[in-house]
Amino acid sequence: MQSVLPGFFANLNWTSEEASHSQDTSGLRPFQMIFEADVKPRTLMTDSLVIKNFLRKVITVLPKIRFNFSVKVNGILSMEIFGAEKEPTLNLSNGIALVVNCQHYLSTPKFDTTELPCSRIHPVLGHPVMLFIPDDVVGMGLLGELTLTPAVALCPCPKVFSNQLNRISSVSIFLYGPSGLPLIFPNSEQPTTPVFKDASYFIDWKKHHLCMVPNWDLSLDRGSVLPDVSYQVESSEGEDQSQDMGPQGQTVLLFLFVDFHREFPGQKMELWGVHTLLSTHLRAILRESHSVVQGCIQAAVDRALEQHHQAVKAHQKLQASLSVAVDSIMSIMTGSTNSTFRKTCLQTLQAADTQEFGTKLHKSFHEVTQHRFVYHCSQAVKQQLLPEKNEAEQNTDEAHENSSLELLAGTGEQTENKRLKRGSQGMEETRAFRSAGALNPSEAASRRAEPTAAPLTFSRSRTGSGSGLEGPSCSHKAALHQCPGGVKSLAPLRATLEGTYRHPGTSLLTLMGFRLEGIFPAALLPLLLTMILFLGPLMQLSMDCPCDLADGLKVVLAPRSWARCLTDMRWLRNQVIAPLTEELVFRACMLPMLAPCTGLGPAVFTCPLFFGVAHFHHIFEQLRFRQSSVGSIFLSAGHLIGPVLCHSFCNYMGFPAVCAALEHPQRRPLLAGYALGVGLFLLLLQPLTDPKLYGSLPLCVLLERAGDSEAPLCS
């Protein structure tokens, strides 16, 4: 027993012993050891501390054992209970479970554990290696093969340090023998074996830019497990900073479990003996299998530190991302012109001004994210930790550490879903096909009906690649309805005209405006006048037309484009048929009737009313205003060709797009063009519609007969 507890000076006398002292995990039976020590008070303190430390060490790996430690000094009983039954643990192997509450390993009370975001350590288990037993070690070979399993963890969890850069400040090594009993070197004067004197004997710290030096002054009097070996980081610059860094950084906890490869061959009773034997020879054993041990410890440490670096990186990423996010929100907030939005934002965070808003935003963002951030902190009370198989697997495993299981489940579900969907799709398809088959007769009927519509669509598809402004179906209807209407209305009119105004001097056709005398000025001048009125829209058109003048002329002169126009129903309707028939009805037939009845002035203004009523169906299309001028042109020229051309031109131009002109990039010249057009029109209206230009007026005859004395027109 002495050998197990170095630094324990008192002589022990076993007084009583109940039950066997098998300390395996199933040992739930109460077990009492009473030692009576005759002691000097000086050593008692140390002794009890040594015992306490031993007990602490035991319970960190055997949490199910509960120790009642009581010391009776001068009749005063002080009692302490050691046990970690309810602590979260991590199952390693052979029934050994590591307590992951970092309270056990933290020596400094600096961290108030209740406020730690994560109060656990997250060990990495290395895979076990076989130890070589030197030949000169007597008796060990008989016991079986020894293995060493390292477990590495960072304490406290990196989450604690999320406000600062994480650093490693010290390394603590804990040695455990078979069945999780602490392995303590017998040499009490020198607690650490020469093997561990050199910090880089097993681990190459330089690889991690760390410079470790052994730490000798370990006080027993601390609330946590005392490591068997401890190193401290000496800053590589050799500055005195190392002193300040000490307690603040993280500690690397390295647990080394020495165990028998197979189940311990001997009796449980021999455990103590074996333990003592092992303690004695461990140094030699470790030295013998130096390279193997180094390899496996180094791998485990590397992985733990890799995790650490990832945590650091993740933390930096979070910091950077959060500041970007906060900056963006601030930029939107401050840049916004929407005052209600800004006010609501300020109110939500209860900030007085934008600056306070910014700081509060940053703070709450940090608080909110920190709670759940930081790499993989599992909250399960019990966990099974399995050693990694090899390096290659390790990488992938780490990458999916969190979610591999969920992922697997997820994809499984997805594929199943897909399969289901595909199945149902297939069903739908077949159904669709069946219904298509059922529909066939009606379809055939519709196809039979198609030919009647075909010629129309055919001709249009050949030619109708002009402006697609109007809906195709609507234009057809309009064209069909308008043409026969115009023709039909001619017959009764002719009758009325002949009946009322039959006059020997003027034929009906002349009266209606069909005559040769002065046809050229009659064709050109009114058109010119209308074009002047439309000066603005014309300018707009030329500006907006993507083709230049040469192209335009080419198009105008090409017989193909004319041929296309002539076969285009819409073009024919808009530019030829409609102007001709409408002018025939409203000007040629109506005006000669109206003029004698109402006089010239009212006739000019009432005639467009009729026209307007007839075009009521266009009301949704566009308003028309140009008709009165057309009427006066007919009156003054006495030719139908003038109004027809003007009408055709107006139909082509449509109502001037004033709104578009107002938003046109070259607004000024355009609007000037509009104004100039209207001005010139008003100026030139009188001279250009001078009846003298167009030969004698047949209408005057009518007017004379009616006794009208509208001299200016007929003089």
What is the nearest approach in angstroms of another protein to the Cβ of residue 627?
Answer: 28
Of residues 535, 530, 531, 645, the one with CA closest to residue 587: 645
Classify 242 as helix, strand or coil.
helix
By CB under 8 A, residue 33 contacts another protein: no
- 476 carries an active-site annotation: no
Per-position b or e across 227-236, b if 16+ CB within 10 A of its CB: bbbbbbbbbe
182: DSSP letter: B
- Nearer to another protein by C-beta: 135 or 663? 663
- Judged by CB, which is closer to another protein: 16, or 442? 442
- CA distances 93 to 24, 150, 256, 260, 282, Å, are 13, 12, 13, 12, 21
Q: Which residue in the set 11, 13, 241, 321 belongs to the binding site for another protein (CB under 8 A)? A: 321
In the complex, what is the shortest distance from the CB of residue 653 to another protein, in angstroms, rounded to a whole number?
15
CB 268 within 8 A of CB 20: yes
CA–CA dist 636, 686 (Å, integer): 10
Can you tell me which residue has the tokens 């003007």?
646
**Candidate list 32, 241, 417, 496; residue touching another protein; CB under 8 A:** 417
**CB-nearer residue toward another protein: 340 or 709:** 340
Nearer to another protein, 332 or 405 (CB): 332
Nearer to another protein, 267 or 328 (CB): 328
Per CB under 8 A, the list member of 3, 94, 103, 369 interacting with another protein is 369
The reply on whether position 425 binds another protein by CB under 8 A is yes
**For residue 156, is the peptide bond before it cis, meaning its omega torsion is within 30 degrees of 0?**
yes
List the interface residues with another protein, window 539-568 (CB under 8 A).
543-548, 551
Report the residue from 85, 239, 270, 429 that binds another protein according to the rule CB under 8 A: 429
**285: nearest Cα among 181, 185, 172:** 185
Q: Which is nearer to another protein, 41 or 471 (CB)?
A: 471
Per the CB < 8 A criterion, the answer to whether 363 and 163 are in contact is no
Does the protein bind another protein through residue 454 (CB under 8 A)?
A: yes
Here's the x/- map for another protein, 481-510, by CB under 8 A: it reads as ------------------------------
3-state helix/strand/coil string of 522-561: HHHHHHHHHHHHCHHHHHHHHHHCCCCHHHHHHHHHCHHH
Q: How far is the CB of 368 from another protein (least distance, A)?
A: 5
Is residue 365 involved in binding another protein (CB under 8 A)? yes
451 contributes a contact to another protein by CB under 8 A: no
- Residue 86 near residue 102 (C-beta atoms within 8 A): no
> Quick one: 26 or 435, whose CB is closer to another protein?
435
Q: How far is the CB of 455 from another protein (least distance, A)?
A: 10
For another protein, the closer of residues 80 and 443 by Cβ is 443
Residue 185 contacts another protein per CB under 8 A: no
Number of residues that bind another protein (CB under 8 A): 63
The DSSP-derived string for 78-109 is EEEEEE-TTS-EEE-STT-EEE-BGGGT---T
Query: Look-up: residue for tokens 């076990």?
Result: 128
Q: In the set 361, 522, 569, 580, which binds another protein (CB under 8 A)? A: 361
Task: Tell me if 218 contacts another protein by CB under 8 A.
Answer: no
Enclosing H/E stretch for 278: helix 271-288
Q: Is 364 in the site for another protein (CB under 8 A)?
A: yes
Identity of the residue, 32 or 328, whose beta carbon is nearer to another protein in the bound complex:
328
Q: Which two tokens stand for residue 212?
A: 């470790």
Q: Is there binding between residue 418 and another protein (CB under 8 A)?
A: yes
Position 680 contacts another protein (CB under 8 A) = no
Joined together, the tokens standing for residue 272 give 């103590």
- Can you state the angle between helices 627-637 and 600-614, rounded to 10 degrees? 130
Q: Which of 308, 615, 639, 647 is catalytic?
A: 615
Q: In the set 245, 277, 318, 528, which binds another protein (CB under 8 A)? A: 318
Among 4, 137, 345, 524, binds another protein (CB under 8 A): 345
CB of 441 to another protein, least distance (A): 13
**Whole-angstrom distance, CA of residue 463 vs CA of residue 570:** 10
Nearer to another protein, 266 or 410 (CB): 410
- Report the C-alpha gap between 195 and 286 in whole angstroms: 7
Which of 288, 388, 582, 583 does the annotation list as catalytic?
Answer: 582
Residue in this structure with the two tokens 């489940």, named with its chain if needed: 409
Q: Judged by CB under 8 A, which of 80, 327, 397, 621 binds another protein?
A: 327
Alpha helices, H only, 289-382: 290-335, 339-348, 354-372
Angstrom distance (rounded) from CA 405 to CA 548: 69
CA distance 491 to 493: 5
- Report the site for another protein in 457-486 (rule: CB under 8 A): 457-458, 461-462, 465, 468, 472-473
The DSSP code for 206 is: G
Among residue numbers 645 through 674, which ones bind another protein (CB under 8 A)?
A: 664-666
Nearest distance from residue 158's CB to another protein, in Å? 12
Nearer to another protein, 13 or 348 (CB): 348
Q: Are 257 and 176 in contact (CB under 8 A)?
A: yes
Length of the chain: 715
What is the Cα–Cα distance from 486 to 206, expressed in whole angstroms? 103
Out of 206, 317, 400, 502, name the contact with another protein by CB under 8 A: 317
* Sequence-distant (≥ 6) Cβ neighbours of residue 194 within 8 angstroms: 283
Residue 62 tokens, joined: 């055997």
127 is catalytic: no
Applying CB under 8 A, which part among 149-157, 221-229, 280-288, 456-464 lies near another protein? 456-464
678 binds another protein (CB under 8 A): no
CA distances from 589 to 246, 364, 465 (A): 113, 85, 36
- Which residues, 513 to 542, sit near another protein by CB under 8 A? none
CB of 462 to another protein, least distance (A): 6
Residues labelled as active-site residues: 582, 615
Residues that bind another protein (CB under 8 A): 314, 317-318, 320-322, 324-325, 327-329, 331-333, 335-338, 341, 344-345, 348-350, 361, 364-365, 367-369, 371-375, 417-418, 421, 425, 429, 436, 443, 447, 450, 454, 457-458, 461-462, 465, 468, 472-473, 543-548, 551, 664-666
